Amino acid sequence: MRNANRFFALHSAFCCAAIATAQITPVAETSHKGSLLFFPRVELRWADLNDDGDIEVDELVQDTVITLSNDGPSAVRVFMLAFNGDPEEFEDGDSCFHKGCNLFDYVGPLTQENPCYWSMASGRPGIGVPAIPLPPFSVLDHTRCGPGRPDPEGSKDRVLRGFLVVFAVNSAEQQIRWNHLTGSATIVNYRDQLASKYLPWSFRAIVGEQGAVIGKPGGLRMGKEYDFAPGKLLLEFFAEDAVLRTANEGFETAIGTTDLTLVIASLDARATSNGPLTTRLDMAVHNQNEVRFSFNAPCFTCWLHESLTSIHLVFNRTFMQTNAGKVRIDGRSSTTPCVGNQAALLGVAVEQIIYDPNGLPRLDMVSSPLVGLESEGAIIRYSPTAPEE
C-alpha cells in the first residue's frame, strides 16, 4: 500500500509538472485587446451622382468608419500606417499614374476614456479630446482623373482600397507594450443601403512591462515581442448561388458574392523600403462531402481583394456540388508563376446574402474575420523619430 501511495504521488507530481511547463503559443486573434491592431479592409467608393461624366470627391457612395479605444490606465500615443492596397497602374493612357501599396503615417494621442471614431474618407472627427482630424485616405490616390481609380471589379465606380495598421508608441514614437487597444471597422455603402462591421486582428505584446519599449525601436516582431501571426487561415463559406432553406418552406436565403481580403503581415514602411512582399496563395478547399478540390491559386503583392469565384469557380455551387465548404489559405514561397515568399497572412471575408421576407428580396452584407491556424513570425519595419539603437 505504501508503494502504491508513492506511485500515485509521483504520478500526480509528474502530471502537474507537465501541465505547468506546457507552453501555449500566443497567436493574434480578433477577440482580445492588444498593442498592435490590423484592419485588413478599408474601401471607399465614388460614383457619378451628378451624371455629368465626371466623378468628384464629394460624390462618395461608400466609406469605412474606424473606431479606436484605449482601455488602459492613462493616455497613450498611437502610430498609424494607412496603406493603398492596389498595385501601380496608369489610367487614360499615361496621363494619370496610380501608386501601389503606398502609405502615409500619422501619430496622435489616445486618451484613457475617449472611444473615438473617424471616417476614412474625411479623417473626421478624429482622435483625442478635442478630436484631432486625421489625413483623409484619399491622399494616397487622387489624380487629375479623380479620386481613387477605376474599379478593378468592372463597375463604373472609382475606388480606393487598402488597410490600416495601428500600434502603441511612446513620445519618441518607439513601439511599447500597451495591451489596451481595441477597435472596429464598419464599411457603409450609402447608395445600396448596406453596411458590415468587423473587428481587427489584435496582437498582444508578450514581453516587457506596461509602457516599456519592446524590442528594437522601428521593428515590431510578431512571434518575438508580439503574438505570432497565424500560419494559415481558415474560412468557412457558403458557395455562391447556393440556396439555403429553413424549416419555413416559404423563406429562402440565397448566397451572392463572397469577397476575400488578405494582407501580408510583414510590412516595410520605411523610406528605404525595397517594396512590398509577394506570395503565392495555397488554397485547400473541401465541400460538405469531404471532397477536396485542387487548383492553381494566384500570387499577390502586399494586399488582395477578390471575390471567391474570381479566384476559382470551385467556390460556385454548381462546381462544388454542396452549399457549404471550407478553405485553408497559406502564403507560400514559389519561383513560378511568380517569385514569391513564405508569408503570414491576415484577412476578412464579406458575404452577400439575399433573403426573401414576404416576397420582397433584400440584400445584406455580413463580414467576419478568418480563423487563424498554427503560427508564423512576421515583422513590421517603420521609422520612429528617435534613432534606432
pLDDT tens figures, 134-148: 999 999 998 888 899
Both 168 and 237 in one domain: the answer is no
Both 216 and 187 in one domain: the answer is yes
Residue 117 within a domain: yes
Output the average pLDDT for the chain: 90
DSSP code per residue over 55-90: --TT-EEEEEEEEEEE-SSS-EEEEEEEEE-SPPEE
302's grid cell:
502586399
Cα–Cα dist 15/20, whole Å:
9
- Scan for cell 469565384, then name that residue: 309
Residue 364, domain extent:
232-375
Both 208 and 187 in one domain: the answer is yes
The arithmetic mean of pLDDT across residues 185-201, rounded, is 96
Residue 12 in 3-state DSSP? Answer: helix
Residue 43 within a domain: yes
Residue 382 within a domain: no
Question: Which of 228, 263, 282 lies at the terminal end of a domain, its last residue?
Answer: 228
Spatial CA neighbour of 163 closest among 190, 185, 179: 185
Q: Confirm if 218 and 388 have CB atoms less than 8 A apart.
A: yes
Residue 13 within a domain: no
Cα–Cα dist 332/300, whole Å:
11
Residue 16 within a domain: no
The arithmetic mean of pLDDT across residues 151-171, rounded, is 96
C-alpha count within 13 angstroms, C-beta hemisphere, residue 351: 20
pLDDT value of position 248: 62
Question: Which of 228, 247, 282 lies at the terminal end of a domain, its last residue?
Answer: 228
Q: Which helix (H) or strand (E) holds 317?
A: helix 317-320
296 confidence band (pLDDT: 50, 70, 90): confident
- Scan for cell 471616417, then name that residue: 119
Residue 343 within a domain: yes
Residue 112 within a domain: yes
Spatial CA neighbour of 261 closest among 39, 27, 24, 28: 39
Both 62 and 148 in one domain: the answer is yes
Q: Confirm if 211 and 178 have CB atoms less than 8 A apart.
A: yes
Range with the poorest average pLDDT among 66-70, 201-205, 252-256: 252-256
Beta strands 378-381 and 267-268, pairing class: parallel
Tell me whether the omega of the peptide bond preceding residue 125 falls within 30 degrees of 0, making it cis: yes
pTM reported for the whole predicted model: 0.91
Both 238 and 172 in one domain: the answer is no
pLDDT value of position 359: 64
- Count CB neighbours of 21 within 10 A: 7
The arithmetic mean of pLDDT across residues 63-79, rounded, is 96
Both 144 and 265 in one domain: the answer is no
Both 67 and 42 in one domain: the answer is yes
254 confidence band (pLDDT: 50, 70, 90): confident
pLDDT value of position 209: 96
Question: Which of 209, 228, 247 lies at the terminal end of a domain, its last residue?
Answer: 228
Spatial CA neighbour of 82 closest among 115, 54, 29, 40: 40
Both 50 and 199 in one domain: the answer is yes
The arithmetic mean of pLDDT across residues 65-72, rounded, is 96
The domain tally of the chain equals 2
Both 126 and 222 in one domain: the answer is yes
Residue 172 within a domain: yes
Cα–Cα dist 107/202, whole Å:
19
Counting residues of the chain whose pLDDT is more than 90, the rounded percentage is 76
Both 258 and 145 in one domain: the answer is no
Both 201 and 268 in one domain: the answer is no
214 confidence band (pLDDT: 50, 70, 90): very high
Both 236 and 302 in one domain: the answer is yes
Residue 333 in 3-state DSSP? Answer: coil
